């Protein structure tokens, strides 16, 4: 039986090879996975043209996935440097990489990225359009914008961020409800500017069906972008954000009618006490579609440490039901991240994702921690390093400070509680 997308296959009762791979990774029944995909509660972003991909599922009951942002800009346009970051990100087993390139040889970088990446690849076509056509934003035509989307789909991009929710109604709500930081989404600001400069409706809203046809042809998942995400905690959960979310819920149903898989993008900066309510609201308004968040960053006063503020919000969000976390690095709000920044961002976001998985009782999540606890009780340092989410740093710390007592560390020595309890339980003298 033929099918166009993973959702189409699921609704026809077909188990695809991608479903089989994801079910095995997640240790769930493949028939349950198929049902969740048919309902839109799980997506498997896997473009038919992305041959190197190792598919992942995003959504209800699955492990929280993480995304890494990469790409070339006018100020930092070294393709080889970005590809080095790609290699490291894949080595660190990230599930997704977004190419946010907006200058220069974007097509060259995108194709190299897709060819080598086992992770799913996402893009924001509006970023590429401005540089690709070398035109002022105002002069980009609807057909030119759609052509860029089609090119990304043909190249093998697995999901595209499209800011379709900021239509003229949403823009009117934004204008009536003043913010501290206006619109901080790069793609959202470009679309808003295009609308204002041309006096027209958002082309990604007006021609949404044409975009869906492109996505269905290549099985591209559409990630409905949050143009009105809050850029500071003062703007979170405001009228603009909620109005756009309502529009995204309507667009989700339209996408599902054409068997196009959907993810919903979310905030942003947000007070920690608002996160759980926002997750519930997204799941209600967007019919259980997978939720993909940047952060939430829970305080605005920690530049240089936003991988930490992001991880705090990400853990709370994941525990509340968020399915996909976008990483943030220490360089957030400051500059393009380098390789070391990227590594710190990945580790922090992986910690958040795993903490969230424990909170929402994902199968197998707690067992990892239990194994680490066993290794610590046994003072099996090598096993601890093997189980560590990122082993290089703990190995280095251990090597840099050698204890007198081999099985202890230099903080406690023979006063180590674990060592002494083991000895007492075995009937030994603790000071031996």
Known binding-site residues equal: 69, 98, 127, 163, 185-187, 226-229, 265, 269, 292, 333, 409, 412, 416
Cα atoms found within 13 Å of the Cα of residue 198, Cβ hemisphere only: 18
Instruction: Give SS3 for 10.
Output: helix
C-alpha span between 400 and 244 (Å, rounded): 52
Beta strands in 290-333 (DSSP E): 291-294, 324-326
CA-CA-CA-CA torsion for 326, 332, 338, 344, nearest 10 degrees? -60
Provide the H-helix boundaries in 182-238: 186-198, 203-206, 208-218
CB 348 within 8 Å of CB 311: yes
Cα–Cα distance, 255 to 290 (Å, whole number) = 14
Nearest-5° angle of CA 129, CA 114, CA 110?
Answer: 30
Nearest Cα neighbor of 226 from 294, 280, 175, 169 is 294
Q: Which residues are annotated as a binding site for Zn(2+)?
A: 269, 333
74, with CB counted inside 10 A (0-12, 13-18, 19+), is exposed
CA dihedral 177, 178, 180, 181 (to 10 degrees): 80
User: How many of the other CB atoms lie within 10 Å of CB of 339?
Assistant: 14
Binding-site residues for [4Fe-4S] cluster sit at 409, 412, 416
DSSP state letters, 88-139: HHHHTT-SEEEE---SSSHHHHHHHHHHH-SSEEEE-HHHHHHHHHT--GGG
User: How many Cβ atoms from other residues are within 10 Å of residue 378's Cβ?
Assistant: 13
Structure tokens at 152: 């990304």
- Annotated binding-site members for substrate: 69, 98, 127, 163, 185-187, 226-229, 265, 292
Cis omega (within 30 of 0) for bond into 296:
yes
* Nearest 10 degrees: Cα torsion 208, 212, 215, 219: 150
Residue with tokens 């003072």: 379
Query: Which is nearest to 262 in space by CA: 114, 69, 47, 45?
Result: 45
């Amino acid at each position: 039986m033929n099918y166009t997308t993973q959702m189409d296959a699921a609704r026809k009762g077909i188990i695809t090879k991608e479903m089989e791979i994801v079910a095995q990774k997640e240790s769930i029944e493949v028939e349950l996975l198929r049902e969740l995909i048919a309902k839109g509660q799980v997506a498997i972003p896997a473009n038919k043209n992305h041959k190197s991909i190792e598919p992942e599922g995003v959504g209800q009951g699955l492990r929280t996935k993480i995304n890494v942002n990469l790409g070339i800009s006018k100020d930092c346009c070294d393709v080889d440097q970005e590809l080095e970051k790609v290699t490291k990100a894949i080595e660190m087993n990230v599930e997704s990489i977004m190419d946010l390139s907006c200058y220069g040889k974007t097509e060259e970088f995108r194709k190299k990225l897709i060819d080598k990446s086992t992770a799913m690849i996402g893009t924001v076509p509006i970023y590429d359009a401005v540089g690709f056509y070398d035109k002022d934003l105002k002069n980009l035509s609807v057909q030119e914008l759609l052509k860029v989307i089609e090119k990304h789909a043909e190249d093998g991009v697995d999901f595209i961020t499209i800011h379709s929710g900021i239509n003229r109604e949403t823009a009117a709500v934004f204008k009536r409800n003043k913010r501290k930081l206006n619109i901080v989404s790069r793609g959202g600001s470009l679309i808003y500017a295009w609308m204002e400069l041309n006096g027209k409706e958002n082309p990604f809203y007006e021609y949404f069906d044409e975009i869906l046809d492109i996505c269905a042809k290549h099985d591209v998942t559409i990630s409905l972008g949050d143009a009105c995400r809050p850029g500071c905690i003062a703007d979170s959960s405001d009228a603009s954000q909620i109005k756009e979310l309502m529009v995204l819920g309507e667009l989700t149903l339209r996408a599902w009618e054409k068997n196009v898989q959907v993810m919903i993008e979310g905030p942003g900066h947000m007070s920690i006490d608002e996160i759980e309510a926002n997750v519930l609201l997204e799941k209600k308004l967007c019919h259980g579609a997978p939720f993909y968040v940047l952060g939430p960053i829970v305080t605005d006063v920690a530049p240089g440490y936003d991988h930490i503020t992001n991880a705090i919000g990400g853990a709370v969000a994941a525990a509340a039901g968020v399915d996909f976390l976008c990483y943030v690095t220490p360089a957030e709000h400051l500059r393009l991240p380098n390789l070391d920044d990227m590594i710190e961002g990945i580790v922090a976001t992986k910690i958040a994702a795993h903490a969230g998985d424990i909170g929402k009782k994902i199968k197998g999540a707690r067992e990892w921690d239990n194994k680490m606890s066993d290794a610590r009780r046994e003072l099996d340092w090598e096993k601890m390093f093997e189980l560590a989410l990122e082993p290089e740093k703990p190995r280095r710390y251990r090597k840099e400070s050698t204890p007198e007592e081999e099985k202890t560390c230099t903080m406690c020595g023979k006063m180590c509680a674990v060592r002494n309890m083991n000895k007492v339980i075995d009937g030994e003298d603790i000071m031996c």
